[in-house]
């Protein structure tokens, strides 16, 4: 079965601004500093909880000087994190002091939330309620433990139409439609602490999106291991859905495919995890490269822009 969200990957521009916002303002842990395996002159930055558990991982490819993406259909238009119910005022004050415009609080499907854009214009939502024990709050976060962001609550897909995506989600991937209001339809996947809410907003009047800084590149769904992933690969093939070969991403294995609305999906394994090449205490401290790129380390370290990792240095 699919156990909720594994990770979400987005595009950004300035890598230092990205670190400053997600590590320092939102208080997430930089759990891995590596490179885009397909374009190794670009960082791949991973943020998450203390140990980098699946369901908490938001990653970025920061392309310096990249223009902003264009919002529209065929995209993930918002990423939502779960936050403690008592943290509403804390987050409104903290984000406002950092110069962010906040929409809300508002209610959606009986849940209270606020929304704002990150430095590149990516839409982030905080959904307030009971935060289930599915993550390890980073103990050295700049955000107090009692207000810390938890796992993903879910994502919003903006599509021109819903029918074929609905079929893929419910009949093939095992999602359940739970509720809808107007042109917003909610689906659920995963059980208990791994559950995630996936909303589809249907709006055929919008133009197609254009990906660049501030755009979500893809979402990865979570499975336990390699055997489970291969079963899904076969199930998708039997349903006429083309997937890539299994790709080794060092910290998980991946297959990719497009859902009918145009959004890139991935199925990723929980194993081997982020401590495969760094200890838990030093996650994110070092530039980690796959073995086949080690011979290029000196060159890549000259090309990649330096990062001021203030929180990392303070606790090392």
- Residue 60's pLDDT band, with cuts at 50, 70 and 90, is very high
- Residue 62's pLDDT band, with cuts at 50, 70 and 90, is very high
Domain interval for residue 248: 5-315
- What is the reported pTM? 0.96
Element (H, E) at 231: helix 226-238
Query: What's the domain count of the chain?
Result: 1
Residue 205 vs residues 57, 74, 161, 202, 208: alpha-carbon distances, Å: 32, 12, 10, 9, 10
CATH code of the domain containing 119: 3.10.180.10
Strands 216-223 and 176-181: what pairing?
unpaired
Predicted confidence (pLDDT) per residue in 233-273, tens digit: 999 999 999 999 999 999 999 999 999 999 999 999 999 99
Strands 39-48 and 103-108: what pairing?
unpaired
pLDDT at 316: 38
Q: If you search the block for the tokens 């993406």, which residue do you land on? A: 69
User: Is the distance from CB of 14 to CB of 64 less than 8 angstroms?
Assistant: yes
């Amino acid at each position: 079965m699919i156990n909720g969200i594994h990770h979400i990957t987005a595009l950004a521009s300035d890598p230092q601004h990205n670190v400053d916002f997600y590590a320092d303002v939102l208080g997430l842990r930089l759990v891995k500093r590596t490179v885009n395996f397909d374009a190794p002159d670009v960082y791949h930055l991973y943020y998450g909880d203390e140990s980098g558990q699946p369901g908490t991982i938001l990653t970025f490819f920061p392309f310096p000087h990249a223009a902003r993406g264009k919002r529209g259909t065929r995209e993930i238009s918002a990423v939502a994190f779960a936050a403690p119910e008592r943290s509403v005022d804390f987050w409104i004050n903290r984000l406002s002091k950092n110069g962010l415009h906040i929409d809300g609080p508002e209610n959606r499907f009986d849940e209270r939330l606020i929304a704002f854009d990150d430095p590149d214009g990516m839409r982030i939502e905080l959904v307030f309620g009971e935060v289930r024990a599915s993550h390890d709050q980073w103990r050295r976060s700049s955000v107090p433990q009692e207000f810390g962001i938890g796992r993903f609550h879910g994502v919003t897909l903006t599509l021109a139409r819903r029918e074929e995506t609905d079929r893929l989600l419910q009949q093939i991937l095992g999602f359940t439609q739970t509720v809808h209001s107007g042109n917003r339809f909610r689906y659920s996947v995963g059980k208990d602490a791994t559950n995630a809410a996936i909303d589809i907003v249907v709006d055929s009047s919008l133009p197609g999106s254009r990906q660049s800084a501030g755009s979500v590149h893809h979402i990865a769904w979570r499975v336990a291991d390699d055997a489970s992933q291969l079963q899904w690969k076969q199930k998708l093939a039997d349903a006429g859905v083309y997937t890539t070969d299994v790709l080794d991403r060092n910290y998980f294995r991946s297959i990719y495919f497009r859902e009918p609305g145009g959004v890139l999906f991935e199925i990723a394994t929980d194993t081997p995890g982020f401590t495969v090449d760094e200890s838990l205490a030093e996650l994110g401290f070092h530039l980690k490269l796959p073995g086949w790129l080690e011979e290029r380390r000196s060159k890549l370290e000259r090309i990649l822009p330096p990062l001021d990792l203030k929180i990392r240095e303070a606790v090392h």
